[in-house]
Structure 1
Amino acid sequence: MRRLFLTHRGDLVSAVTASEARQLLAVAERVQAPGIAAIVESLGRSVFVAASLGENLRDFPVVIVAGRGALTGAVGCALARHLSNQGVSVTVFAMNLPDGPSFPGLAAAGENQWRALLETGAPVVSSPADLPRQAGLVVDALPALGPSMLDNPKIARICHWVNHARQGGGEVLSLDIPCGIDATTGVVAEGALRPDRTVCLALPKTGLQGAPCGEIVVADAGIPARAYRRIAIVAHPCVFHEGFLLPLQTTF
């Protein structure tokens, strides 16, 4: 049975596995010029809207933990650029991670986002010692590689730092799936991130159902409806009636 989410309007939204999400992006890459670069930029703008909800971000430092080479990392860089352009104090914690699943165009799009980020002058650091002592918002832009990510001591340390920042009053926002949770099955590793909000990229993932992910919203990736229809498993694509974000209320 196809797993579904329900919006506050009563619309159904298909949940997809990690593999199915990659299929969607591959199809979108073929039917939408200029492809993945436009998708990353659209997602960055949509996530910026999500990050800007609530507290005035100019009052607190923002930390974005981003994995280079991953879709989430590229979107995190785009988010950092938008925040910096708005006068927000933002620090990017950059991590070089083992190569995960990829698709044509992602590497180039990601490197373009990193270069654009550097032009903002926002600090990019690689040691937890260089992070602000307290952050008002921490964004988890690490790739959705599942519980095994916590086997990496550096990732385990930064996840501990993020969870500690949340306990200290900072808000945590995860992109696509919180680090340490399997995007398909929802299996949760010890020490996994437990965000206040999870912003799914393009479609919700099946692993979000029942996992400690906080409030769940979907970010508009600018993918044409035709691309969704080319993947039979997406029976109910996202419809963004009221902006670039689609809150999900319940699942079944």
Structure 2
Amino acid sequence: MEHGARLNPPLHALRVTTAAEAAARDRGAINAGTPSFDLMLQAGTAAASWLLRECAAQLSHGVALLAGSGNNGGDAYIVAAQLARAGIAVRLHASAPPRTPDAQRAAQLATPYLVFGAPTGHERLVIDGLLGTGHRGPLRDSALADCARLALARDGGATIVALDLPSGLDATSGEVADGSVPAHVTLSFGTIKRGILLRRDHVGRLVLLDIGLGLHGDIPGDRDDEAWRWADADSLRALGRAAHAADAWTSHKGMRGRVGIAGGETGMAGAVVLACRAALHTGAGLVHAIVDEPSVASVQSLVPQALAHRWPSEPASRQADAQRYTALAIGPGLGRSQSAAMVMQRLLDGHRGTPLVLDADALWLAADAANALGTDTASMLRHWVRDTPQAVCTPHPGEFARLLGTPLPDAWEPRAALLAQFASRAGCTVLLKGTPTLVATPDSQPLWGVPHGTPMLATGGSGDCLTGIIVALLAQGCSARDAAVLGATLHGRAAERATAVCGSIRGAMLDDVLHELGGVWTDIERGHPRAPYVLAELPAV
């Protein structure tokens, strides 16, 4: 198998937008000939369609809607009218008269179908259409009073469904204003707003609905902007095409990828064990564990499918019988000693050009080497991977701060900018673990956001599993970008499946996550028929 990517990039992806980027996509569609009211009409109709399909039991008790004066309120008027036309008892409370032309038109069309007034308390479904993506800062007194109505309904057992995003949630930063009420479901229109992914705990189940943006949902005009990419089902199938090519019925273990995973200092064999298991669950044909000599027996006992080797004791030029790998990962449980640093350098020197994952202690050692030489870590990494076009680094926020040599900002805008700059300077793909995980490539393309996962992944060894998944994908021909995005998605979605199976994150272990990887592959490959208007979904966290 040749090193490097064998895959053309997917043509389109869903987008995670700031408020300004979402507005740009609306303008792009409008400027191309789609009337703005048509976007509102489809947004409201799509939301009503979802509610009729998914909330039939609650709708039988009637529905209450709270509508603001802007276009988010206009969406609520359309939802109310469509539900009323379907025979649902609808009650709408207007916080103020509609002030935008589209909202006024929506109200005019809907009024004949509506009963006006605040929620009675008997409704089991209450729709939040008060504030949209234009909101910033604290809630005004009138909005606070209306959010208090939402809170009262929620406390009374009603299901709260937010249109586009919960009122009081900043679409860009994810900041939540005092008084904002968490939703059980958020129906996002056209694009996922960045603030939603940053505050999944506040939005509940997330459903992305098609409002008719077309290709403008991906690129709003003549050129791209900085909106994060999110791999949907079609994109994921494209990202995994190279890996699936290794599954031909004529395949043998060599064709499915020969993976090397280096780490496992004395007392830390478990990190390599988890990474090896993850690589095998991802479909690697052969997995070699390269570990400190006292860890060899542990690895062979705990992962009998893997071959175990001692750390190389000589420089690459003297390793006449050195193993060759289709992809190599360095870092899980490697340690931070001088011996570990020498082992890493020998492996890097002996496998130049081999697709590479650097994780955990390998990143710590990179920063340590850069400090010793008086250079920056990005330059050090660029030197290390200069002959390796397919290289992925997988830091968590603490490790990334060490790579930068400065504390990581809390705000996501500067954090994302630092990630993109670092990937460009380091000449490799950088996956920053988190909620969401972000992937930056060295070619200055927009970041990829991976919103999948549950707190089940917040445990020691989770990153080692991710390393094993990514290195297996690299070994099967995926590019660094594709392996990082697909790997993080597999990891996160497997955690979602495991959490659903166990019913809780307690009582579950990372082995449960690994056992769900096959089901995620099947879900991606087979796909599922999408309901009308639905582009994507994320479960509540």
Give, in whole Å, the separation in 2 of the partners of 1:228 and 1:147: 25
| Residue matched to 2:127 | 139
**Counterpart position of 1:225:** 215
Q: Partner residue of 2:137?
A: 148
Specify the code of the residue in structure 2 equivalent to 1:148. Answer: G
User: Among residues 243, 246, 250, which one is paired with 2:535 in the alignment?
Assistant: 246
Q: How many residues align?
A: 225
Instruction: Map Cα deviations across residues 130-166 of structure 1 (whole Å, 9 max, x no partner).
Output: x31322111111122446352x222112212212211
Residues of 1 paired with 2:28 and 2:198: CA distance?
29
TM-score, structure 2 as length reference: 0.39
CA distance in 2, matches of 1:88, 1:97: 24
How far apart in 2 are the matches of 1:21 and 1:228? 10
Task: State how far apart, in whole Å, the 1-side matches of 2:165 and 2:74 are.
Answer: 15
Q: How does 1:1-252 map to 2 (within 5 A)?
A: 13-33=14-34, 35-52=35-52, 53-68=54-69, 70-96=70-96, 107-120=100-113, 122-125=114-117, 128=118, 131-144=119-132, 145-146=134-135, 148-150=137-139, 152-211=140-199, 212-226=202-216, 228-229=218-219, 230=221, 232-233=224-225, 234=227, 236=229, 242=530, 243-249=532-538
Question: Deviations along 1:96-145, whole A, 9 cap, x unmatched?
Answer: 2897xxxxxxx33221111111122x1123xx4xx313221111111224
- Structure number with higher strand proportion: 1
Please give the secondary structure, in 1, of the residue aligned with 2:64. strand
Query: What's the CA shift string for 1:197-252, capped at 9, x where partnerless?
Result: 111111010001231110111111112215643251357487897220133338xx
In 2 relative to 1, CA 139–227 (structure 1 residues): closer, same or farther, beyond 3 Å? closer
Q: Is the 8 A contact 1:61 1:89 kept in 2?
A: yes
Distance 1:123 1:98 in 2: 16
Corresponding position of 1:3: none
**Which protein is bigger by CA-based radius of gyration?**
2
CA distance in 1 between counterparts of 2:83 and 2:123 reads 14
Letter in 1 for 2:104: E
- How far, CA to CA, are the matches of 1:239 and 1:25 in structure 2? 23
RMSD: 2.5
C-alpha distance in structure 2 between counterparts of 1:142 and 1:86, whole Å = 23
Task: Pick the structure with more helix per residue.
Answer: 2
* 1:147–1:188 Cα contact (<8 Å) kept: no
Find the aligned partners of 2:181 and 2:197 in 1 and give their Cα distance: 15
Q: Matched residues, percent identical? A: 20
Asked which structure has the greater RCO (Cα within 8 Å, sep 6+), the reply is 1
Task: Please give the alpha-carbon distance, in whole angstroms, between the structure 2 residues aligned to 1:63 and 1:123.
Answer: 10
